[in-house]
């Protein structure tokens, strides 16, 4: 089917990057259609219903220094929907819980000898003083962290976190990736040193929906269940083949994972270019969400520095957003990054729960199965690009191999890591550049 309506720009992917780009384009009066393959917009920020309230499928928060998302919220007149709270961060190590929310907590972290505690505190300060991230590109995170804090600090604090996050590719992760994490968290603290985080009422999807409403009010189209299978250059335009029809447009912006871009253009693109899109490795994610009768602890974010525990951490969302939001239910996330070939990625929701529960009960002996009022498992194949050494050299350009095709994906966010704040920054940036180009060409 060929539709008569020919939007000027087709955007593939209805996550925050695609929506932010559409927001900028429609502000300039440019015709836009956004194609999202799933039933809902939001991408990794999509949500599900808990007792009449939207809850993120994958846990989310913003840091108080995430200026790009905060600016967008201000522009949309939604500032009153943001809540900012101090949060409790902790570490589970050697069958004990340790609070790690403030510098004072750090000084009381007894698994490390006192001098190593000082080294750990100084490490964060030294990391924040790095101005030229390019000088870290030749180092892995493991090498750099050992240099800054020593072998003992690395073994007890950092190595379990790296392995929990990246599993079999932990040793490949760039120092640049870890440096940015330390810098970001260090800049989101209150006067007492406590970490302060922000959350959007109604879940992050509420912001995505507000963006979509704005885009449509400006004349844009936002289509769900519209999976694009192919993009072909035709004369000086582009033919988009999707599950909702075939369209001809002037420009295409693709915001999906790079290997998916390769699949869409493999009918005509050069083999070397296709290989460059498939060069970056991605980890998948499995996220188990529990609705409980009772809280597990008073900690929001519990890093688990125990190699036998199969998840990166225990995130008790209702120690951040009140349980009353979810009819008194306590919400807990267990997240695991892993290769998509891993057995856990293939499990059903019930199988994931059966797998996870014994580990969780070992940590929280009071937990009984009848505490669990409901459980959900969400999976994302393209969840985390593997940011390796010299990553800047393998990121493809935002300009595609043929004029009129543009790429803007989370794998191209660097030196920062993927996340809502930077997805919005990059989407708005490329949207503005494309709008300028279109206006000049007119």
Which segment of 12-21, 64-73, 277-286, 393-402 scores lowest on mean pLDDT? 64-73
Question: Starting at the edge strand that comes first in sequence, how are the strands of the sheet with 32-35 ordered?
Answer: 221-223, 32-35, 9-12, 251-254, 405-407
Residue 304 has pLDDT above 80, yes or no: yes
Provide, rounded to the nearest whole percent, the portion of the chain with pLDDT above 70: 95
Q: 121-140 burial by CB neighbour count: b if 16+ within 10 A, else e?
A: eebbeebeebeebeebbebb
Provide the pLDDT for residue 188. 47
For residue 185, pLDDT beyond 80: no
User: pLDDT at residue 96 above 50?
Assistant: yes
* 62-71, 183-192, 255-264, 270-279: the lowest-pLDDT one: 183-192
How big is the CA angle at 371 (ends 54 and 349), to the nearest 5 degrees?
60
Distance CA 178, CA 191 (A): 24
- Structure tokens given for 158: 């950092």
How is residue 81 written in tokens? 């929907």
Looking at the chain, the whole-number percentage of residues with pLDDT higher than 90 is 73
Q: Are 237 and 246 in contact (CB under 8 A)?
A: no
Average pLDDT in the chain = 91
Mean pLDDT confidence for 303-329: 92
CA-nearest of 438, 401, 397 to 24 is 438
Residue 6 confidence (pLDDT) above 70: no
SS (H, E, C) 100-115: CCCHHHHHCCCCCCHH
Mean pLDDT for the stretch of residues 309-322 = 92
Mean pLDDT of 393-405: 96
| 385: its two tokens | 């690009």
Length of the chain: 442
Q: Residue 193's pLDDT is what?
A: 52
pTM over 0.85: yes
* Distance of alpha carbon 34 from alpha carbon 21, whole angstroms: 10
Q: How far apart are CA 246 and CA 423, in angstroms?
A: 28
Confidence at residue 441, expressed as pLDDT on a 0 to 100 scale: 77
Q: What is 282-385's CATH number, 3.40.640.10, 3.30.420.40, 3.40.50.10490, 3.90.660.20?
A: 3.90.660.20
Q: How far apart are CA 165 and CA 160, in angstroms?
A: 8
How many Å apart are CA 244 and CA 146, to the nearest integer?
52
The ranges assigned to domains in the chain are 9-45+203-279+391-441, 84-196, 282-385
Q: Mean of the pLDDT values across residues 105-110?
A: 84
Residue 426: burial class (beta carbons within 10 Å; 0-12, 13-18, 19+): buried
Judge contact between 372 and 156, C-beta under 8 A: no
pLDDT tier, 106 (very low <50, low <70, confident <90, very high otherwise): confident
At residue 95 the predicted structure's pLDDT band, cuts being 50, 70 and 90, is confident
Distances (CA, A) of 239 to 30, 264, 374, 398, 413: 18, 11, 44, 20, 27
pLDDT band at residue 442, thresholds of 50, 70 and 90? low
Say whether 111 sits in a helix, a strand or coil: coil
Average pLDDT over residues 99-125: 85
| Mean pLDDT, residues 303-315 taken together | 89
Supply the CATH classification number for the domain 9-45+203-279+391-441: 3.50.50.60
Q: Which of 10-19, 105-114, 149-158 is predicted least confidently?
A: 105-114
What average pLDDT does the segment 257-281 reach?
97
What is residue 123's predicted lDDT score, i.e. its pLDDT? 87
Identify the pLDDT of residue 255: 98
Mean pLDDT on 19-35: 96
Predicted local distance difference test score (pLDDT) of residue 3: 40
Structural tokens at position 40:
């809902």
pLDDT of residue 127: 84
pLDDT range class, residue 373, cuts 50, 70, 90 = very high
């Amino acid at each position: 089917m060929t539709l008569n309506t020919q939007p000027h720009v087709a955007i593939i992917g209805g996550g925050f990057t695609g929506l932010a780009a559409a927001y900028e384009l429609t502000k300039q009066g440019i015709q836009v259609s956004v194609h999202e393959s799933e039933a809902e917009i939001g991408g990794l920020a999509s949500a599900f219903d808990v007792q009449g309230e939207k809850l993120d499928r994958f846990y989310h928060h913003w840091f108080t220094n995430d200026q790009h998302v905060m600016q967008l919220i201000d522009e949309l007149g939604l500032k009153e929907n943001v809540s900012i709270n101090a949060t409790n961060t902790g570490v589970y190590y050697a069958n004990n819980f340790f609070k790690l929310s403030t510098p004072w907590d750090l000084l009381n972290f007894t698994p490390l000898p006192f001098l190593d505690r000082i080294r750990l505190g100084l490490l964060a300060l030294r990391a924040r003083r790095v101005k030229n991230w390019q000088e870290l590109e030749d180092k892995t995170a493991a090498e750099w962290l050992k240099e800054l804090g020593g072998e003992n600090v690395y073994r007890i604090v950092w190595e379990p976190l790296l392995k929990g996050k990246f599993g079999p590719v932990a040793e490949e992760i760039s120092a640049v990736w870890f440096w940015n994490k330390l810098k970001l968290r260090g800049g989101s603290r209150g006067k007492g040193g406590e970490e302060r985080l922000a959350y959007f009422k109604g879940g992050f999807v509420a912001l995505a929906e507000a963006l979509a409403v704005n885009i449509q009010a400006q004349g844009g189209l936002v289509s769900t269940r519209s999976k694009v299978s192919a993009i072909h250059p035709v004369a000086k335009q582009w033919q988009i083949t999707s599950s909702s029809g075939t369209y001809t447009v002037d420009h295409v912006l693709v915001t999906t994972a790079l290997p998916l871009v390769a699949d869409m253009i493999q009918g005509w693109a050069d083999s070397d270019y296709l290989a460059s899109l498939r060069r970056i490795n991605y980890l998948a994610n499995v996220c188990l969400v529990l609705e409980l009768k009772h809280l597990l602890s008073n900690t929001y974010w519990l890093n688990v520095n125990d190699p036998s525990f199969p998840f990166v951490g225990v995130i008790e969302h209702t120690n951040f957003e009140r349980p009353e939001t979810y009819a008194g239910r306590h919400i807990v996330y267990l997240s695991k990054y892993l290769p998509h070939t891993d057995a856990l990625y293939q499990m059903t929701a019930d199988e994931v729960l059966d797998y996870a529960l014994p580990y969780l009960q070992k940590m929280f002996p009071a937990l009984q199965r009848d505490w669990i009022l409901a459980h959900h498992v969400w999976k994302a194949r393209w969840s985390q690009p593997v940011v390796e050494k010299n990553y800047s050299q393998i990121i493809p350009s935002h300009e595609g191999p043929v004029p009129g095709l543009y790429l803007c994906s989370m794998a191209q966010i660097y030196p920062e890591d993927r996340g809502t704040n930077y997805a919005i920054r990059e989407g708005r940036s490329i949207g503005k550049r494309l709008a300028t180009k279109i206006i000049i060409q007119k």
